[in-house]
């Protein structure tokens, strides 16, 4: 996989990434990271440990995450690692003070009072953070652990938050990773995506690229409906989701458009369709009608998803006809795909007797000389044919 990724960058003639965040294998006693060893062509690659994963390692040393002091401990641990940009904090405090005085009539507040009323989401949107130096972080974490190992680390029932032996063992193994979480100089981790006015003060809105922020949400999605699927259907669902995910992430990473460049919202994820529409609109109208955040690259032969797994075992993924109509007919003939247990609450088609049909005003089921006016029975629950009858999904099958 690493070889294919390096090849993709090489063929695209794109400079290799400078920084990669991982959840493990960030460093090695001999000085060579296992992750860096995978990407031998990227000699200047810097490997950093995702700070969220480091904090989760400390969280495994608590007696229970439902402890009354657990949120306070994790908040203080984050404070030991990060420091807020002083200029951004001062601007946000000024905006919050103006908002409290103008909307709520709260005057004479100290800076501490105003800071207590700033929401966490406001800190995240309007203030950049950077990691403290490793030595300072080590001193702060040690002081934090000493504090919560004492009386301050017990709740009203005298139950300690930290498992003393476990947390010390964790600290003895994790302190060396403090150098692995440092922000790399010269790499811009924050992008200004817009501005927001609060209390008459214009505040920048930032998006942070540190860690696994976007990929963390990737794990929360359920791409395949049902419990099992045939390989080609699984591949079609997977590629559909990846196309949508890539387009959404590219749109989120793009700078805000200027007023004169305002384009209508996205209505299709089909890159071929958008590309063709922009070609025709450029020829007729002199400008593009839709914003295309991902360009159509040339196919390099790289495998993805189920194809990659089949190649590892020496198998071949089922070939699918390039004709969309043939693909739909094949789906209807097979009546296979995602298998789920039948829902007993959903009944099948009802056959009417001659008398019942006469009372209902419809033809009897025994009369097969003319086509019935009844609509066909609904597709089986979980059948993917309803997703694959449109041109977009049929195009995915051609992959």
What is the spatial distance between Cα 285 and Cα 74, in angstroms, rounded to a whole number?
56
Please tell me which residue, 49 or 254, carries the higher pLDDT value. 49
**Residue whose C-alpha is closest to residue 140's, from 88, 224, 82:** 82
Tokens of 62: 């608590």
User: If you average pLDDT over every residue of the chain, what do you get?
Assistant: 77
Mean pLDDT check: name the lowest of 32-36, 242-246, 265-269.
265-269
What is the spatial distance between Cα 123 and Cα 128, in angstroms, rounded to a whole number?
8
Please tell me which residue, 69 or 228, carries the higher pLDDT value. 69
| Residue 81, SS3 per DSSP | helix
**Residue whose C-alpha is closest to residue 205's, from 213, 216, 217, 197:** 197
pLDDT of 379 higher than 60: no
Q: What is the pLDDT of residue 359?
A: 45
Mean pLDDT check: name the lowest of 56-65, 99-108, 217-226, 267-276.
217-226
What is the spatial distance between Cα 255 and Cα 191, in angstroms, rounded to a whole number?
8
Q: What is the pLDDT of residue 177?
A: 93
Question: How many residues comprise the chain?
Answer: 399
- pLDDT bin (cut points 50, 70, 90) of residue 80 is very high
- pLDDT bin (cut points 50, 70, 90) of residue 216 is low
Q: What is the pLDDT of residue 258?
A: 59
User: pLDDT by residue (tens digit) across 222-240?
Assistant: 777 777 788 888 888 888 8
Give mean pLDDT, residues 173-197: 91
Q: What is the pLDDT of residue 127?
A: 94
**255 burial via Cβ count (<10 Å: 0-12, 13-18, 19+):** exposed
Please tell me which residue, 372 or 282, carries the higher pLDDT value. 282
Mean pLDDT check: name the lowest of 9-23, 309-323, 356-370.
356-370
**CB 45, CB 25: distance < 8 Å:** no
pLDDT of 56 higher than 90: yes
Angle between helices 164-174 and 51-59 (to 10 degrees): 150
Alpha-carbon distance values, 279 to 29, 287, 288, 292 (Å): 55, 9, 8, 12
For 184: left if phi > 0, alpha if psi spans -120 to 50, otherwise beta; the answer is beta
Q: What is the pLDDT of residue 230?
A: 84
- pLDDT bin (cut points 50, 70, 90) of residue 319 is low
Instruction: Quote the Cα angle for 91-92-93, to 5°.
Output: 90
Give mean pLDDT, residues 335-349: 41
Q: Which residue has the tokens 């609904």?
A: 378
User: At CB < 8 A and 24+ separation, what contacts does 249-256 make?
Assistant: 249/214, 250/293, 250/294, 251/291, 251/293, 252/193, 252/207, 252/214, 253/191, 253/207, 254/293, 255/191, 255/193, 256/193, 256/194
pLDDT of 279 higher than 80: yes
């Amino acid at each position: 996989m690493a070889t294919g990724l390096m090849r993709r960058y090489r063929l695209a003639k794109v400079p290799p990434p400078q920084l990669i965040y991982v959840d493990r294998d960030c460093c090695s006693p001999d000085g060579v990271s296992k992750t860096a060893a995978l990407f031998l062509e990227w000699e200047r690659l810097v490997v950093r440990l995702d700070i969220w994963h480091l904090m989760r390692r400390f969280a495994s040393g608590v007696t229970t995450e439902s402890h009354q002091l657990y949120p306070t401990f994790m908040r203080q641990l984050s404070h030991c690692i990060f420091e807020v940009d002083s200029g951004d904090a001062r601007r946000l405090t000024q905006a919050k003070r103006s908002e409290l005085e103008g909307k709520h009539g709260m005057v004479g507040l100290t800076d501490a009072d105003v800071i207590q009323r700033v929401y966490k989401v406001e800190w995240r949107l309007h203030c950049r953070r950077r990691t403290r130096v490793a030595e300072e972080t080590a001193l702060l974490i040690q002081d934090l652990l000493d504090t919560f190992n004492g009386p301050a680390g017990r709740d009203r029932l005298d139950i300690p938050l930290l498992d003393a032996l476990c947390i010390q063992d964790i600290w003895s193994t994790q302190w060396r990773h403090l150098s692995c979480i440092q922000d790399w100089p010269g790499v811009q981790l924050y992008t200004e995506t817009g501005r927001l006015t609060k209390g008459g003060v214009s505040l920048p809105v930032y998006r942070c690229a540190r860690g696994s922020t976007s990929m963390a949400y990737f794990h929360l999605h359920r791409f395949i409906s049902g419990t099992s699927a045939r390989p080609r259907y699984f591949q079609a669902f997977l590629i559909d989701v990846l196309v949508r995910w890539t387009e959404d992430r590219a749109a989120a990473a793009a700078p805000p458009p200027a007023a004169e460049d305002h384009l209508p919202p996205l209505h299709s994820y089909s890159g071929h369709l958008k590309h063709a529409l922009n070609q025709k609109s450029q020829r007729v109208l002199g400008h593009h009608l839709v914003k295309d955040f991902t360009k159509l690259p040339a196919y390099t032969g790289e495998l993805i998803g189920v194809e990659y797994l089949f190649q590892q075992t020496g198998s071949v993924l089922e070939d699918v006809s390039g004709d969309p109509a043939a693909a739909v007919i094949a789906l209807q003939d097979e009546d296979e795909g995602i298998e789920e247990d039948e829902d007993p609450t959903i009944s099948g088609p009802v056959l009417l007797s001659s008398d019942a049909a006469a009372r209902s005003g419809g033809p009897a089921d025994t009369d097969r000389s003319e086509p019935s006016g009844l609509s066909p029975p609904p597709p089986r629950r979980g059948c993917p044919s309803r997703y694959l009858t449109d041109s977009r999904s049929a195009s995915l099958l051609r992959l």
